[in-house]
Amino acid sequence: MDYLADRTGLMDASGIRKVFALAAKLKDPVNFSIGLPDFDVPDPIKEAAIEAIRNGQNRYSQTAGDAVVVQRLKDKVTLDYGWDNPQLMFTSGVSGGLLLSFMALINPGDEVILSDPYFVIYKHIINMLGGKCVFVDTYPDFRLSAEKVAAAVTDKTKLIILNSPANPTGVVHTEDEVKQIVEVARKHDIIIMSDEIYEEFCYEQKSPSVGKYYEKSLILNGFSKTYAMTGWRVGYAACHEVLAPLMEKMLMIQQYTFVCAPAPFQQSLLTALDYDMSSYVAAYRKKRDRILEGLSDAYQLVKSGGAFYLFVKAPDKYPNATEFVKEAIENNLLVIPGNVFSEQDTHFRISYATSDEKIEQGIKILNKLA
């Protein structure tokens, strides 16, 4: 396949591909694999999108987004972080924001510090752009310490990535952890990119944003998980005006790629941002607690503080997590092997974004496998 670009060889989706190839043969499996809320978009938010479509708001918006909705988000950012003149643009989901920001920041040879485990997209885009991932091992508790970040810094470090609440671990950073990492970044004048897509799914404590403590931070956030609008592809990127040149370049790249985030769905946010999702979050807290209760005797678990994931150590009788996952699938249970999210193959990811009935079935299968 000499016609393919070399960069395509830097991507590997084999772990997930194998899971779904095996899963295609299953009938009504217990699906603990997908990071997708099991509830639907609340009706008032749907109606706002439908109304926007009917009112003809179906054309391109400005590259950054509709001015009224952008201002609504800027007001939120000012309130959250104290930035007087935040720079903000809508993106095609947080994934779109990741691509734009990496393209605007990373030169070949630049190093990016990220925790291991990590969200799968980070590694592959960085590699495609010729950057180098510098992984900070956070096993077994999945906490990212400032000391380890500091030890990973070199004169080639371009970016530090934070993700809280985290995918795949569900870990939520503490305020002290964030402040200490900020001090490392400030000392070396490094930008921090903070992926906060699961911001609303926090169960014991709110996830502190780096934006409150550091002007050279780029915040990526969105609405897919909070409101179950994963197919609507609306996220946003925000930064302090000190990073305005970065936002300008991201906007320029968006002009030649995504063009804009979907226009009618931008309008739905004026309703979504005022919609109370606390009952949904409470329901997911109960799901998490049931999984922890059901598996704690048989598995090595780290209690997740947010998102809707657990990153679980595979039983020792298996040579690696991939082999465990194969057997799980043979028992009609879908989970994702940890090597999709990590340089190690010792754990597997559970997504408890499913029905309570499926959670009970999954607990039984996992305990049988252990």
pLDDT band of 12, cuts 50, 70, 90: confident
Position 16 scores a pLDDT of 62
Q: End of a domain among 251, 272, 293? A: 272
Counting the structural domains of the chain, the total is 2
179 shares a domain with 123: yes
Position 48 scores a pLDDT of 97
pLDDT for 17 beyond 90:
no
Q: What is the pLDDT of residues 26-61, one digit of tens each?
A: 888 899 988 888 889 999 999 999 999 999 999 999
Position 301 scores a pLDDT of 93
The model's pTM: 0.93
186 shares a domain with 82: yes
| CB-count exposure of residue 87 (10 Å: 0-12, 13-18, 19+) | buried
Q: End of a domain among 238, 253, 272? A: 272
Amino acid present at 224: S
Does residue 351 lie within any of the structural domains? Answer: yes
Pick the range with the lowest mean pLDDT from 37-41, 216-220, 260-264, 363-367: 37-41
Strand bridging mode 157-163 / 111-116: parallel
Q: What is the pLDDT of residues 303-317, one digit of tens each?
A: 999 999 999 999 999
Position 14 scores a pLDDT of 57
Position 18 scores a pLDDT of 66
Q: What is the mean pLDDT of the chain?
A: 94
Does residue 74 lie within any of the structural domains? Answer: yes
Position 357 scores a pLDDT of 95
Position 80 scores a pLDDT of 93
Spell out where the chain has E strands.
Answer: 30-31, 87-91, 111-116, 132-137, 157-163, 191-195, 217-222, 235-239, 309-313, 333-334, 336-337, 347-351
Q: What is the pLDDT of residues 155-175, one digit of tens each?
A: 999 999 999 999 999 999 999
Q: What is the pLDDT of residues 120-131, one digit of tens each?
A: 999 999 999 999
188 shares a domain with 114: yes
Which of the 8 DSSP states describes residue 21? H
Q: End of a domain among 221, 250, 272? A: 272
Expressed as residue numbers, the domain containing 311 is 6-41+277-369
Does residue 1 lie within any of the structural domains? Answer: no
Q: What is the pLDDT of residues 80-104, one digit of tens each?
A: 999 999 999 999 999 999 999 999 9
Q: What is the pLDDT of residues 180-224, one digit of tens each?
A: 999 999 999 999 999 999 999 999 989 999 999 999 999 999 999
Position 27 scores a pLDDT of 84
Number of H helices, E strands in the chain: 12, 12
